[in-house]
Amino acid sequence: MRQRGFSLLEVMVATFIMAVAVVALLSNLTTSLRNASRLTDHDRAALLARHKMDELLLIPRLPQMQVIEGQFDPAQSSGLPATWRARASIYEFAPGAGPGAQVLERVELQILFQNGGRTKSYSMEGFRKRFLLPDEPPPQPFAGPPL
């Protein structure tokens, strides 16, 4: 007479295989959640940078070759502790440009934020055309270090 069913050894091997599969699945899930959290902070920083760059490009006269900086309101940054710094410089101009001449201005922006206990940064630059004002000195090429 032959009995049907699984032996104890077969059940133990099947249980071991299932345990390994579940551990691998949970490990992958944890890694995915950690990456999603990290990328969420980077996305917030990118949105803050775009918003701040739009604000800076709308200011008619930014101080040239000076670093300006500030801190984001926690309500605006969705709780992400972040600061910003920016610098404007004349990027391109015609030789002998004086008051009333059109120049290309570059605005560099850097967002600094906390992620996983470390300070991370997100940089961007924008360009705009503007006219030199009568009280502005003639433009000088700027080849300083990046922000």
Q: What is the pLDDT along the chain (147 residues), one digit of tens a residue?
A: 567 778 889 899 999 999 999 999 999 998 888 888 778 888 888 999 999 999 999 998 888 889 999 999 888 877 788 999 999 998 888 888 888 889 999 999 999 998 778 899 999 999 999 888 888 777 776 667 777
- What are the tokens at 33? 């959640």
Ramachandran angles phi, psi of 76, nearest 5°: -75, -35
Q: What is the pTM of this model?
A: 0.71
Instruction: Just give the CATH number of 8-131.
Output: 3.30.1300.30
Ramachandran angles phi, psi of 99, nearest 5°: -55, 135
DSSP codes joined into one string, 100-145: T-EEEEEEEEEEEEEETTEEEEEEEEEEEEEEPPTTSPPP------
